[in-house]
Structure 1
Amino acid sequence: MTRKYFGTDGVRGRVGEAPITPDFVLKLGYAAGRVLCEGQSATRGHQRPTVLIGKDTRVSGYMLEAALEAGFAAAGVDVMLAGPIPTPAVAYLTRALRLDVGVVISASHNPYYDNGIKFFSGRGEKLPDEVELAIEAALDGEMGCAESANLGRASRIDDAAGRYIEFCKSTFPNEFDLRGMKIALDCANGAAYHIAPRVFHELGAEVIAIGREPNGFNINDKVGATAPAALCQFVIDNSADLGIALDGDGDRLMMVDAAGELYDGDKLLYVIARGQKAQGRLAGVVGTLMSNLGFQRAIEALGAPFVRAKVGDRYVLETLIEKGWKLGGENSGHIICLDRHSTGDGIISALQVLAALREQKKTLKEACADLEFYPQKLVNVRMASRCDWQSNAKVTAAIGQAEAELGELGRVLIRASGTEPLLRVMVEGREAARVEALADAIAAVVRAEFC
């Protein structure tokens, strides 16, 4: 069944434009509430379901929070409001408080004028497909209202941040601390601004921070995991031992070493994998189609299997569960440590990197010494409309020729953007000049055929 509203990570868009409007979000809350109530009647009798709502620091969060709260209440669902907290904090609190659903109002790393609604199940995982489809079906119906005696109530969790801080700290080994370490922290003016500094400070680090003064409009603005240049310079200017960059909702991570060099998700996954291998608990690693081939080779050199999922942390998680493995992620910085949390978490991932460095007595640079990244070239070809490039003989011939030249020491990846009329052409191999030439050659054939 084709999805009308839900993407790979909830419902997202520009505020004030469908579907991110107060009337739609009101109805979304009501529809999700009705699905919840129907599920509850089958499993818990007449007990009223309860949802947790958290948000990031966007100014539109106030409006959308109120709309969601009203929709759930109209459906007969109780609401607990957590205020601004990271997306993974909502997943944790939903599970820890034995609630039915967690809802996050956030557009992650997007600018402030975007926003979105994403859901977690009572187990702190993304909602199953069948539940999202049931909510979409309910959205097509009329909005009603429960009888006054059955309306939901709202309350606020005053200690949401404190509970999550203690949970994060619990994932760091008891035998280690961060004393003697100076950490530069970039909170992206987002949901972790009042949480991440306390986590690292309470574990013993000296913390200096940027991106911790949100005003509703500056989330992800020239700061955070998607704009790490500010942190790279901040680390150097303040002689920090390393830097940690989160994104607006706190589920993405980049790190910087003392020299200002950036470490992406692939490199950080490798550091964690090395640590788990040393402890004898690395079953396998899940990457994505965009994971660097050098990263794959390095994981395999550790003696661990590696598989690729589709791009998106949702698909990484699905593959981890299917394989029964615990570690996976994307080069964009979404890292999932299922032995620590049910979803990707920037703070917890950073703590796993720091624990591995502490145990191995290495710096980031030393821990990644055996990791050789292959050169990549990505060309975005803008199309007039979406095209069936897989059936075009000239395009497939160009791809085949490139793959033959690269052999086992490279790869070609062609994929359509999910949000724009773009065809992304990526070539990866050992020789940078050859990689660039092959990527440009394939892109030229695509342009000639479809542009």
Structure 2
Amino acid sequence: MGRTYFGTDGIRGRANSKKLNAAIAMKVGQAAGEHFLRGDHKHRVVIGKDTRLSGYMMENALVAGFTSVGMDVIMTGPLPTPAVALLTREMRADIGVMISASHNAYGDNGIKLFGPDGFKLSDEDEVAIEKAMKADQALAQGDSIGRARRIEDARGRYIHAVKQALPEDIRLDGLKIVVDCAHGAAYNVTPTAIWELGAEVIAMGVEPNGLNINDGVGSTHLDAIKARVVEEGADIGIALDGDADRLIVIDEKGQKVDGDQIMALIGTRWAKRGTLRGGGVVATIMSNLGLERYLQGQGLDLVRTKVGDRYVLEAMKAGGYNVGGEQSGHMILLDHATTGDGTVAALQVLAAMVRTGLPASELLHQFDPVPQILKNVEYGETDPMEAATVKDAIAAAEGTLGNNGGRLVIRKSGTEPLVRVMAEGDDAGQVEQVVDEVCEAVRAAS
């Protein structure tokens, strides 16, 4: 069955569009609620959100949907995605919902669903919910209609939980840290957690107004935090995205450190400590070839998946791994969280700084990346990937790179009308030429 609503990370789209509006959100609540009405206990759902203006509308619609089929609702207010997953499991809820479009601008929004175990839903569950959305749900009657309440201590619960990811002897005294929360869901919790551990915190991106989430700040807009780290003479910068499941680090020189270097650091340190499971790290096809070579040199494997943290998580669970993530900054550390958690990952990096005494620029340069180029090509109604000219260009590029130990990855975005073209190899000039040739073929066919 084809998917109408769910993509690679829940439902996402322009708020108040045909695909995502209050009516759709209420149907999601009804369908997901009915799907998880299992057993004879009192059923409940935890709903969190980021700081988008449309979050109020989506929250109210979801509450109406869930309560109408007999589920009680617990609302947390603005809270990171991993916090919603955590509270879903801790509060013995049947389902968790995060209202967020992650790193997208404020005009978009989305709905992410978690099962009672705190993990994102399986494909089978999402297909079942989609099917139910197209049918009429059995509405609760009388005293079976659900109740809704807002809890006030959700932030404190999450702060306590993420601090447990560090050994008790780790303190961050003496570290000056810039924390950029993208005017998003972590605007209160992450600066507070890091401050409570002893660091001097310089917070930015912590004044949400409903319209400024990810606007010139956060993990996808790094110029501001790079400048701030250098200006303040900070030891490190921590950049999160709108729902705080993604982390990018800025070293003391103002240089970006992506998810590949962070995975290399955490993976190898855990391996030396004897706590790394699975014998390696799970990442996507987008991770740099340099990471793969580095891990192999350490006697560790790199398992690659399709793009999307849900696919990373599936491979981690199937293979018994506890470290995985994406180059873009999603870090999944299953010893501490059931989904990507930028704050937990940041604390692992900070703990390594404390243990080693090394500056961020040295600690987080675990390997030399292979030259890699990623370009996006926008397309219209016609699918360029079906064009013979594009297929020929891809085949030629794969042949060129493959003969020299390189890689080509070309895929359509799951959230935007973009074709993403990535190539890497030891010859930077060849990589750039190959990417440009494929991009030109895609443009011509669009």
Aligned to 1:7: 7
Alpha carbons of structure 1 residues 26 and 416: separation in structure 2 relative to 1, 3 Å: closer
1:71 aligns with 2:30: no
Alpha carbons of structure 1 residues 135 and 232: separation in structure 2 relative to 1, 3 Å: same
Aligned to 1:401: 399
Measured on the aligned residues, the alpha-carbon RMSD in Å equals 1.8
Aligned to 2:327: 331
How far did residue 300 of structure 1 move?
A: 1.4
Aligned to 1:50: 44
Segment drifting more, 124-133 vs 85-94 = 124-133
In structure 2, stretches of 5+ residues that fail to align are: none
Task: Tell me the distance in 2 between the aligned counterparts of 1:387 and 1:445.
Answer: 9
Cα offsets for 1:139-184 (capped at 9, x unmatched): 1112553111110011121111001100010001112110111111
Task: Tell me the distance in 1 between the aligned counterparts of 2:211 and 2:379.
Answer: 32
Alpha carbons of structure 1 residues 281 and 152: separation in structure 2 relative to 1, 3 Å: same
Equivalent in 171, 187, 207 of residue 165 of structure 2: 171
Alpha carbons of structure 1 residues 80 and 394: separation in structure 2 relative to 1, 3 Å: closer
Alpha carbons of structure 1 residues 256 and 33: separation in structure 2 relative to 1, 3 Å: same
Equivalent in 283, 286, 289 of residue 285 of structure 2: 289
1:354 aligns with 2:350: yes
Q: Is the 8 A contact 1:390 1:396 kept in 2?
A: no
Cα offsets for 1:116-149 (capped at 9, x unmatched): 1111111110012222122111111125531111
Equivalent in 402, 424, 431 of residue 428 of structure 1: 424
1:438 aligns with 2:434: yes
Task: Please state whether the residue corresponding to 1:81 is helix, strand or coil.
Answer: strand
1:228 aligns with 2:231: no
1:142 aligns with 2:139: no
1:365 aligns with 2:365: no
Task: Tell me the distance in 1 between the aligned counterparts of 2:378 and 2:350.
Answer: 41
Q: Is the 8 A contact 2:7 2:415 kept in 1?
A: no
Q: Is the 8 A contact 1:275 1:360 kept in 2?
A: no
Alpha carbons of structure 1 residues 400 and 380: separation in structure 2 relative to 1, 3 Å: same
1:101 aligns with 2:95: yes
Segment drifting more, 439-448 vs 359-368 = 439-448
Q: Give the TM-score normalised by structure 2.
A: 0.95
How far did residue 439 of structure 1 move?
A: 2.3
Task: Tell me the distance in 2 between the aligned counterparts of 1:11 and 1:278.
Answer: 39
**Paired letter, 1:20:** L
Task: Tell me the distance in 2 between the aligned counterparts of 1:3 and 1:142.
Answer: 18
Task: Tell me the distance in 1 between the aligned counterparts of 2:394 and 2:254.
Answer: 41
Equivalent in 285, 291, 302 of residue 306 of structure 1: 302
Q: Give the TM-score normalised by structure 1.
A: 0.94
Task: Tell me the distance in 2 between the aligned counterparts of 1:2 and 1:113.
Answer: 26
Task: Please state whether the residue corresponding to 1:193 is helix, strand or coil.
Answer: coil
1:264 aligns with 2:264: no
Task: Tell me the distance in 1 between the aligned counterparts of 2:402 and 2:154.
Answer: 55
Aligned to 2:273: 279
Task: Tell me the distance in 2 between the aligned counterparts of 1:202 and 1:273.
Answer: 26
Alpha carbons of structure 1 residues 380 and 189: separation in structure 2 relative to 1, 3 Å: closer
Task: Tell me the distance in 2 between the aligned counterparts of 1:370 and 1:65.
Answer: 42
Task: Tell me the distance in 1 between the aligned counterparts of 2:438 and 2:384.
Answer: 15
How far did residue 440 of structure 1 move?
A: 2.3
Task: Please state whether the residue corresponding to 1:298 is helix, strand or coil.
Answer: helix
Runs of 4+ residues deviating >6 angstroms: none
Task: Tell me the distance in 2 between the aligned counterparts of 1:383 and 1:218.
Answer: 27
Alpha carbons of structure 1 residues 364 and 33: separation in structure 2 relative to 1, 3 Å: same
**Paired letter, 2:396:** A
Task: Tell me the distance in 1 between the aligned counterparts of 2:138 and 2:335.
Answer: 42
Identity among equivalent positions (%) equals 49
Alpha carbons of structure 1 residues 115 and 382: separation in structure 2 relative to 1, 3 Å: closer
1:375 aligns with 2:371: yes
How far did residue 349 of structure 1 move?
A: 0.6
Task: Tell me the distance in 2 between the aligned counterparts of 1:69 and 1:236.
Answer: 45
1:185 aligns with 2:179: yes
Task: Tell me the distance in 2 between the aligned counterparts of 1:23 and 1:375.
Answer: 47
Aligned to 1:27: 27
1:219 aligns with 2:234: no
Task: Please state whether the residue corresponding to 2:401 is helix, strand or coil.
Answer: helix
Equivalent in 235, 243, 250 of residue 249 of structure 1: 243
Task: Tell me the distance in 1 between the aligned counterparts of 2:364 and 2:42.
Answer: 51
Alpha carbons of structure 1 residues 24 and 170: separation in structure 2 relative to 1, 3 Å: same
How far did residue 370 of structure 1 move?
A: 4.1
1:129 aligns with 2:127: no
Q: Is the 8 A contact 2:34 2:137 kept in 1?
A: no
Task: Please state whether the residue corresponding to 1:176 is helix, strand or coil.
Answer: coil
How far did residue 8 of structure 1 move?
A: 1.4
Cα offsets for 1:360-384 (capped at 9, x unmatched): 3322222234410011123434445
Q: Is the 8 A contact 2:401 2:407 kept in 1?
A: yes
How far did residue 107 of structure 1 move?
A: 0.7
Task: Please state whether the residue corresponding to 2:6 is helix, strand or coil.
Answer: coil
How far did residue 357 of structure 1 move?
A: 2.4
1:342 aligns with 2:338: yes
How far did residue 396 of structure 1 move?
A: 4.8
Q: Is the 8 A contact 1:186 1:231 kept in 2?
A: yes
Task: Tell me the distance in 1 between the aligned counterparts of 2:239 and 2:169.
Answer: 25
In structure 1, stretches of 5+ residues that fail to align are: none
Task: Tell me the distance in 1 between the aligned counterparts of 2:392 and 2:30.
Answer: 50
How far did residue 404 of structure 1 move?
A: 4.3
**Paired letter, 1:8:** T
Alpha carbons of structure 1 residues 404 and 312: separation in structure 2 relative to 1, 3 Å: closer
Task: Please state whether the residue corresponding to 1:357 is helix, strand or coil.
Answer: helix
Q: Is the 8 A contact 2:103 2:243 kept in 1?
A: yes
Task: Tell me the distance in 1 between the aligned counterparts of 2:175 and 2:294.
Answer: 28
Task: Please state whether the residue corresponding to 1:254 is helix, strand or coil.
Answer: strand
Task: Please state whether the residue corresponding to 1:107 is helix, strand or coil.
Answer: coil
Equivalent in 417, 421, 427 of residue 413 of structure 2: 417
**Paired letter, 1:398:** A
Task: Please state whether the residue corresponding to 1:117 is helix, strand or coil.
Answer: strand
Q: Is the 8 A contact 2:281 2:303 kept in 1?
A: yes
1:120 aligns with 2:117: no
**Paired letter, 2:78:** P
